[in-house]
Amino acid sequence: MIKAGILGDDSLVCGELIRLLNAHPDVNLMCVASSQHEGCPVSMIHRALVGEISLTYVAEPQLDGLDVLFLCGEEGESRSWMECAELPEGLRVIDLGPDYRMQGEDNAFVYGLPEVNRKHMVHDCNRVSCPGDVATAVLLALLPLARNLMLVSDIHVSVAQGGGDGVACMCNPLDHGQKDEIVQAITAMQSSFKSDVNIMAVSGAFSSGVLAAVYMDCNVDLEVLRTLYDEYYADHNFTFVVDHQPDIIDVLGTGKCYLHLERTGRRLVVTAAIDGMLKGAASNAVHCMNLMFGLQECTGLKVK
């Protein structure tokens, strides 16, 4: 059994992560840490877990004996904790925050999008930084094009993000540099990419989703493009190219991404739909853990 711990908070994403790990057949969730909630039952903060979990929050995770630690906090918290902590050799760390998403010479974290870096996570990877939810949706819409060096124009993105109160309004889902994440990941696959990425965002009336329409100039026949997308995602278990226009309700409560391709004049439009708290955060983190420990990647993540 994988012994797991969480350094978390009272966010919905952290609640989803606790739920997934608690139900995972190959995980023993040892501790959930939060100085703010020390001594409080986890199910009192994450009430959907009443009757499911008996753990009580501790102030700091007990690292000795853990195989993996998930960091699930606000911007700056992961880096601050990592710089002060003495990590046991062999402890794997999976960060759901934004602190280590940008790659550089001093960053030991692998960018945790399995559809790009699955091989890196399988082969001796100890640090993973999970993408932002918007970056996840947009990149999944673009990866087959980048792999085939077909991103040659500016990219435009219209995003509706969950968490709204039923009234559409302007919002900014890119506070943590998710646009930079997108450009970084594209450039890593297509070094010749020099165009701009423009993102318009609104908050949606749904609770936990990201619906992104990604469009760009592309003269390639739609059937050829569909084949490229089908081939790219053929051996990935959570991203699917579908024939219908996807909606948030199709993927809500799952770790899936649905993609749909269509043409409007000379422009290709790729629509991506994900559950922002799952595929955009918690289930993606568990997916990364499965790869790091040599498990079948769908373990504990199948829709029931």
pLDDT of amino acid 303: 72
Tens of pLDDT, residues 255-264: 999 999 999 8
Average per-residue pLDDT for the chain: 91
pLDDT on residue 206 = 67
Residue 84: pLDDT band (50, 70, 90) is: confident
Q: Max Cα separation, the chain?
A: 60
| Tens digits of residue pLDDT in 224-244 | 999 999 999 999 999 999 999
Pick from 195, 196, 199: nearest CA to 133? 199
Q: Quick one: what percent of the chain has pLDDT higher than 90?
A: 74
pLDDT score of 188: 93
Beta carbons within 10 angstroms of residue 48's beta carbon: 12
**11-61 per-position pLDDT tens digit:** 999 999 999 999 999 999 999 999 889 999 999 999 989 999 999 999 999
Report the alpha-carbon distance of residue 99 to residue 141 in Å, rounded.
24
Residue 91 CB burial class (10 angstroms; 0-12, 13-18, ≥19): middle
Q: pLDDT tens digits for 118-157?
A: 998 998 799 999 999 999 999 999 999 999 999 999 999 9
Domains of the chain: 2-130+281-292 (3.40.50.720), 133-274 (3.30.360.10)
Q: Quick check: 171 pLDDT over 60?
A: no
What is the structure's pLDDT at 228?
97
Q: What is the per-residue pLDDT for 163? A: 63
Is residue 278 scored above 60 in pLDDT? yes
- Separation between Cα atoms, residue 29 and residue 198, nearest integer Å: 41
- Calculate the dihedral angle through the C-alpha atoms of 94, 96, 260, 156, rounding to the nearest 10 degrees: -120
And the tokens for 46?
């994450």
Q: How far apart are CA 54 and CA 46, in angstroms?
A: 12
As a three-state string, the secondary structure of 228-254 is HHHHHCCCCCCEEECCCCCCHHHHCCC
Per the DSSP assignment, residues forming a β-bridge with 156 are 198, 215
Of all residues in the chain, what percent carry a pLDDT higher than 70? Answer: 93
